[in-house]
Amino acid sequence: MIDLKKIPKIELHVHLDGSLNIDKISEITKEDKKVLEEKMTAGEKLSSLKDYLDKFDYAVSLLQIPDLIRKLASSLREDLIKDNVIYAEVRYAPLKHISYISMDEFIDIVYEELNKDKKLKVKLILCMMRNDSKLNNMKVINLAKKHLKKEVVGIDLAGDEDSYPTKDFKDLFDYANELKIPITIHSGESTNYKEVEAALNMHAKRIGHGIRSIDNFDLINKLKDNNILLELCPTSNVQTNSVDIYKNHPIKLFSLLGVTYSINTDNRLVSEIDLSREYKKLIDNRLVTIEGIIKSNLNAIKYSFLTEEEKVTLFKKYNDLLREM
């Protein structure tokens, strides 16, 4: 079988604060690794998405001081390169990291650290939070516009969709769309397919997770007709109890129905996963083939928020690396 680590990879859905390196955190904080794992990882399964989101709290508390931000962003860069990721869109919520520095300074530090090695190209997606105020989320949109096509390539809505439905954010997404900011929205992860329908009415070109789309055939057709990509994160979906067991993840059905998707980790630390291991789990459970994995990476390039010129360059790099395998 092909060495899955050698496959060049594209990751469109990876959270900064959920993907830090636990060894680096242990080194910095002097905390025992097992204690950190209890705080920061999901294990095999939690009872809900909300329990999963609670695992972010400690990482967020660390990502406040410039020196720590640099060290932890650097460790993510190294982990992505070890996994043979050549392009990633890393997302985070700016207003969670302003205890000691400005939102602009945070962008500068993270972007610089993540792009220090030419093997890896990284852009940022800024997350509005469902439980935050309209005023604060407007600040995130304006920040994204300020840095658009430089460090930032898009905007997202994240958090507890059970308590804060997508439809309540239409004004914000209309505003982001007017500013020509590319949009992806976490939806249909833990609730129902109607959340995905709502996201499509808010100018989303990609859907974070979107697994409940499988419950409505009209929505499946709408995803295809509107060229929407699902950012699938199988291990995370099991851990949040959005899918009961791994072999029942709908990724295979999405393939059979012609829905476009990419494969992602969501949170490398919280889920204790990288793309190489995610690919192996998918293959072992007969949910995808090697050819399907390659196709998902090509989909990820096509649906990335890069410029068309940047996509052409990335397609060439990806295909060159494939030929070298």
The three-state (H, E, C) secondary structure of the chain, written as one string: CCCHHHCCEEEEEEECCCCCCHHHHHHHHCCCHHHHHHHHCCCCCCCCHHHHHHHHHHHHHHCCCHHHHHHHHHHHHHHHHHCCEEEEEEEECHHHCCCCCCHHHHHHHHHHHHCCCCCCEEEEEEEEECCCCHHHHHHHHHHHHHHECCCEEEEEEECCCCCCCHHHHHHHHHHHHHCCCCEEEEECCCCCHHHHHHHHCCCCCEEEECHHHHHCHHHHHHHHHCCCEEEECHHHHHHCCCCCCHHHCCHHHHHHHCCEEEECCECCCCCCCCHHHHHHHHHHCCCCCHHHHHHHHHHHHHHCCCCHHHHHHHHHHHHHHHHHC
Over range 258-270, report the average pLDDT: 98
* Chain segment 196-235, per-residue pLDDT in tens: 999 999 999 999 999 999 999 999 999 999 999 999 999 9
Residue 112 pLDDT: 98
Q: What is the pLDDT of residue 294?
A: 98
Give this prediction's pTM.
0.96
Contact yes or no for 10/300 (Cβ under 8 A): yes
- Annotated catalytic, 197? no
pLDDT band at 22 (very low <50, low <70, confident <90, very high): very high
Specify the pLDDT at position 18. Answer: 96
Of 93, 45, 101, the residue nearest 69 (C-alpha): 101
- Pick the residue with more confidence: 127 or 56? 127
CA distances from 176 to 170, 187, 192, 260, 272 (A): 10, 17, 25, 24, 33
Q: What is the CATH number of the domain that holds 162?
A: 3.20.20.140
Count of structural domains, the chain? 1
pLDDT surpasses 90 at 151: yes
Q: What is the pLDDT of residues 154-203, one digit of tens each?
A: 999 999 998 999 999 999 999 999 999 999 999 999 899 999 999 999 99
Q: What is the pLDDT of residue 95?
A: 96
Give the mean pLDDT of 263-291: 98
Residue 106 has a pLDDT of 98
Average pLDDT, rounded, for the chain: 96
- Long-range interactions of 203-208: CB distance < 8 A, separation 24+: 203/173, 203/174, 203/176, 203/177, 204/173, 204/228, 205/229, 205/303, 206/12, 206/230, 206/231, 206/303, 207/231, 208/13, 208/156, 208/158, 208/184
Is the pLDDT reported for residue 109 higher than 80? yes
Q: Check whether 45 has a pLDDT greater than 90.
A: no
| Per annotation, catalytic residue among 11, 151, 189, 195 | 189
pLDDT at 49: 85
Rounded to an integer, the average pLDDT of 237-260 is 96
Identify the pLDDT of residue 114. Answer: 99
Share of the chain above pLDDT 90, in %: 94
In the chain, what percentage of residues exceed pLDDT 70? 100
What is the mean pLDDT of the segment spanning 74-82?
98
What are the backbone angles phi and psi of residue 260, rounded to the nearest 5°? Answer: -80, 135
Instruction: Taking residues 89-116, report their average pLDDT.
Output: 97
What is the average per-residue pLDDT within 291-314? Answer: 98
For residue 86, give every residue at least 6 positions away whose Cβ sits within 8 Å of its Cβ, in sequence order, or none.
Answer: 8, 9, 10, 119, 120, 121, 314, 317, 318, 321
Taking the CA atoms of 57, 282, 76 and 188 in sequence, report the sign of the dihedral they define: negative
The domain in which residue 143 lies consists of 4-324
